[in-house]
Structure 1
Amino acid sequence: MLNKLNLLRDKIDILDIKLLDILSKRLELVKKIGLIKNKYGLPIYVPEREKYIISLRKKEAKKKGISPNFIKDILYRIINESYFYEKTKKFKKIKPNFTEILIISHNKKISYLFKKMLTITGYNIKYIKEKNLNLNNINYLFKNIGMIILDISKSFFEKFVNKLFLLPKNCILIDLSPIKEISITKILKIYKGPVLGLYYFFDYQKNFLFKESIIYCYGRKKKYYLWFLKQIEIWGLKIEYMNLIEHDQYVFFIESLKYFFTLIYSTFLIKTKISFNKILTLYKPISYLNVFILKNFFLKNPELYINLITDSKNNIENIQKHLDYINNLSFLINEKKRIKIINIFNKINNLLINSK
C-alpha cells in the first residue's frame, strides 16, 4: 500500500515541477508583452482581456470536471502576478519634452506615490511639503513648471488658492482634494488655466497601481491634460469620469460615511469597555479589514478624515438622513416588526443580486 501511495506522490511531484516550468515560461512571455506595451504606450491592465480569459478557462475547466471557481481563483493569482512581470523599469512617457512638475504635499503618501510613478515614467519632479513653503515668496517655485499637483490641507488651501494667479499660462493644475464642489469651484474663480480634479479609491501604500480606480473631473481646458489621463491608464489605473456633484456623492458613500460609522463603532467600543483584542481574536479574517480601517483612521492625522465627514453641507444632511434611518430601524426592532425588517433585508438582497 505504501509503495502505491509513494508512486502516486512521485507522479504528483513530477506534475508540480512541470507546472512550475509552464508558469515560468508563461511569465517570460508576459515580460515580452510588457516591452511591447511600453513601446506603444498601451495600458498594462486591460479588463476586457482579463474577463475574457477567466470566462473561457472556466468553461474549459467545467468540461474537464474541474471546479470553475477553483480555476478562477488560480487564474486571478497568476494574472495578478503577471502584471508585475509585465511591468518594465520605465513606463512609456506620453510627453517626452514636458517641463517640470511641481507636487505640493501635506505629508500624504498619495503624493509620494504620484512622485514615484511620474519619476519612473521619466518626468522631472519637484516635490515640496506645504509646511516648508513661504507663501510670501512663492514665485520662484512656479517658474517654468508645466503642471502643479495639489495634495494639501484645507487650512493651507484657503491661503494658497489666492496665489494661483501667479502660475504660468496653461500650467495644468491637478487637485487631489476629496470634496471637489468646494475646491474646484474656488480654484476656477482665481485660476484661468487648465484644471483637472482627481480622487483615488485605493490603498496608497501599494507600490504600483494595477487595477486600482481613480475618479477624474473636468475643471477647465481639458485638451491640455487629456494626455495625462492616458498616462495614468498606462500605469494600470482604471479611470472613471464624474461631474463635480456626482463625484462628491460617491466620495460621501465610499469614504465619508465609512469613516463616520467607524467613529461611531469605535466610540461605542470605548464606552462599553469591550476588549478590542478579543474582538480581533474572535472576528478573523474579516477583522483584518476592520483593523486596516481603524489604524488608518486613528493612527494618522485625523484632519483628512474629519474634513471628509464635515466639509460638505450635503454630507451633514446625508448623515442626518442615515441617523433617521437608524432610528426608524431601531423602532422596528424594538416593536418586533419582523415582517417589515425582513422586507428591508429582501430589498437589500435584490439590490445586491441585480448589481452583480
Structure 2
Amino acid sequence: MADENTPNQSQQNPEQQLRALRDAIDSVDTQLVDLIAQRAAITAQVGAVKRELKQPLYVPSREQALIQGRRDYAEAKGLSADLIEDVLRRIIRESYRTQTMQATSTSKTLERPVVIVGGAGRLGQLMGKLFANTGYCVEVIDKHDSFTAELAQKAQAVIVSVPVNQTVAAINALPKLADDCVLADVTSVKSAPLQAMLEQHQGPVVGLHPMFGPSVHNLAKQLVVVTPGRDDAQCQWIIEQFVNWGAHIETLPAEDHDTAMGWVQAMRHLSTFSYGLHMAEENADIEALLQVSSPIYRMELMMVGRLFAQNAELYADIIMANHQQFPTIARYLERFSEALKELQQGDKQRFIEQFEEVKRYFGQYAEQFLDESEGMVQLADDQRFRQQPD
C-alpha cells in the first residue's frame, strides 16, 4: 500500500510528477523541522532537571548510547548510519546551547565573589558570563580598577585573564588573598604564570588553559587543560565547574603543557601567518583560488583566513611567549628549504623515501586522521554551495 504522503503518479506527466514529489519532500521537511522544534523543547526541560540534580551539561556516555541506538535503528530502516549520526550530532550540538544557561554551581559559598582580573577582555567577559549565569557573584577588575584588600579577603576565587605578556606582572600585583581563595590563570603558557602564582599566594593554586576562543556559545566538548599548582583538593570545585559547563579536562604538568603548546600554537600559528603573508605579498587571487579549490584546500584556506580575522597582538604574544620553540621552527625552515632544493633537482625518489618515513612515524594516526577529516571535508563542500541556488 502506498504511503498517504506519496503522490499518485499514475495519471501525471513527468513535470507534474516532479512537482508533486517536490511538494511531498517539502511536506516531510516541514515535519522534520516541527520534530526538531519539539525535541528542542524537551531538551530545554532536560536542562532544568539537570540543574536540580546538579548534573553536567555534557555526559559522554549518554550521548554515545543515544547515537549508537539511532545508528542501529537507521541500519534496520535501510538508511546510512553515518548520515543519521551526522544529523543527530548537529542537533545535539544545538541543544547544548539551550542548556548552557541552566548549569549548576559546584561551589557551596556562592555569596563569596569570583574575581576576574582582566574581566573586560573578551575571554574575561566569557568567564564572567559563565560564572554569573551559574549563580555566582562576579567582580570584574580591569586595568584602571583598584583591587581592594577587602575584596581580596572575600573572594573564593581569583582568575587572571590578561594578555599573556602581562600575566606575570598582573599576578605579582595582586593583594593578599584569603587563605582558601583559589588563584588561577587562563593564559596559553603555564610555567611562568604558575610559578608566579605559587610565589604570590600561599593558598590553592591552579593553572587553566581554555583551548577555545571567547566566541564559543558554550563549553560542551571544549577542552580545558589543567596544570596543578598547590592544594589540588581545594581547587577541585573550580575544575568541576568547567566540567559542569560541559568541558573536557586534560591534566598536564606546566612544563609538558608548554612543550606541547610550542607545537599546537607557536609552530602552527607562525606557519599559518607565513603562508598568509606569502599570499598577500604574491598578491594571490583569493576569489580565483576559491573557484577551483578542492574541499580540503578550501578548508586550509579558511584556516589561514580565520587567523587574520582575529587580533594581531594576541597572536604575536602567543608566538613570542613560546620562544623555546624558535630553534625547532628554524630547523623546520631548513627542512623546507632542503626539500625544495631536492625537488628542484628532480630528486623524486628522495621525496618518496621521506614521505614513507613520515608515514611510518604517523603510523595508525594517518588513517585515523584521514577518517576524521572526511566529515570536515564534506562539511566544507556543503558550505561552499550553501548560498548558491539549485
Segments of structure 1 that go 5 or more residues without pairing to the other structure are: none
One-letter code aligned to 1:78 = I
Equivalent residue in structure 2 for 1:71, among 84, 87, 96: 84
Seen in structure 2, the aligned counterparts of structure 1 residues 55 and 126 have a Cα distance that, compared at 3 Å, is same
Among 255, 264, 272, the alignment partner of 1:254 is 264
Distance 1:185 1:336, change over 3 A: farther
Return 218-227 or 188-197, whichever deviates more: 188-197
Match of 1:169 in 2: 179
Supply the distance in 1 between the matched residues of 2:74 and 2:353 (Cα, whole angstroms). Answer: 39
**Residue 101 (1) aligns with residue 111 (2):** no
Question: Residues 23 and 90 from structure 1, CA distance in 2 versus in 1: closer, same or farther, beyond 3 angstroms?
Answer: closer
CA contact under 8 A between 1:152 and 1:177: conserved in structure 2? yes
The TM-score normalised by the length of structure 1 is 0.86
Mark the CA change 1:332 to 1:50 in structure 2 (over 3 Å): closer, same or farther: farther
Alpha-carbon distance, 1:82 to partner:
2.1
1:122 positional shift: 0.8
Secondary structure at the aligned position of 1:336 is classed as: coil
Aligned to 1:319: 329
TM-score in terms of structure 2 length: 0.79
* Counterpart residue identity of residue 27, structure 1: A
Q: 1:82 to 1:263 in 2, by over 3 A?
A: closer
- Tell me how far 1:164 sits from its aligned partner: 4.1
Counterpart for residue 290 of structure 1: 304
Which of the numbers 39, 53, 58 marks the counterpart of 1:26?
39
1:203 to 208, 213, 226: 213
Note the alpha carbon deviations across 1:209-265, whole angstroms, 9 max, x for none.
222111111111111120111111111111211111221122222221122112212
**2:242 is aligned with 1:228:** no
Matched residue SS, 1:292: helix
Superposed displacement of residue 81, structure 1? 2.1
Q: Contact 1:262/1:294 (CA < 8 Å) preserved in 2?
A: no
Match of 2:317 among 303, 307, 320: 307
Cα displacement (A) at 1:166: 1.7
| Aligned 8 A contact 2:183 2:197 in 1 | no
1:44 is the counterpart of 2:57: yes
Shift in alpha-carbon separation, 1:201–1:159, aligned structure 2, 3 A: closer
3-state secondary structure, aligned to 2:309: helix
Q: Which amino acid aligns with 1:94?
A: T
Tell me, yes or no, if the aligned pair for 2:74 and 2:81 is still in contact at 8 Å.
Answer: yes
Q: Within the alignment, does 1:114 sit opposite 2:124 as a pair?
A: no
Q: Report SS of the residue matched to 1:199.
A: strand
User: Mean Cα displacement is larger for which, 211-220 or 341-350?
Assistant: 341-350
Amino acid at match of 1:91: A
Aligned-partner Cα distance in 1 for 2:152–2:78: 64
Cα offsets for 1:31-71 (capped at 9, x unmatched): 23212211111111122332333333334323333223322
Unaligned runs of 5+ in 2: 1-11, 373-390
Q: d(CA) in 2 for partners of 1:158 and 1:14? A: 60
CA–CA separation in structure 1 for the residues paired with 2:26 and 2:281: 56
2:180–2:203 contact (8 Å) kept in structure 1: yes
SS of 2:58's partner is coil
Q: How does 1:244-283 map to 2 (within 5 A)?
A: 244-276=254-286, 278-279=288-289, 283=293
Cα distance in 1 between the residues matched to 2:70 and 2:251: 32
Tell me which amino acid in the other structure corresponds to 2:346: K
Aligned Cα root-mean-square deviation (Å) = 2.7
Within 1, Cα distance between the matches of 2:242 and 2:345?
Answer: 53
Identity fraction in percent: 22
* CA separation of 1:6 and 1:290: change in aligned 2, threshold 3 A: same
Distance in 2 of aligned mates of 1:21 and 1:165: 55
Deviations 1:150-179 (A, max 9, x none): 012355434333344622212111111211
Structure-2 change in CA distance of 1:320 and 1:289 (3 Å): closer
Is the counterpart of residue 183 in structure 1 residue 196 in structure 2? no
Partner of 2:385: none
The CA distance in 2 between the partners of 1:264 and 1:10, in whole Å, is: 51
- SS of structure 2 residue aligned to 1:122: coil
The letter for the 2-side match of 1:338 is: K
User: CA 1:133–1:100 in 2, change beyond 3 Å: closer, same or farther?
Assistant: same
Cα distance, 1:23–1:168 mapped onto 2, change above 3 Å = same
Structure 1 residue 11 displacement after superposition = 4.2
1:333 aligned to which of 317, 333, 343: 343
- Between Structure 1 and Structure 2, how many residues are aligned? 348
Match of 2:74 in 1: 61
1:76, 1:153 → 2: CA distance? 34
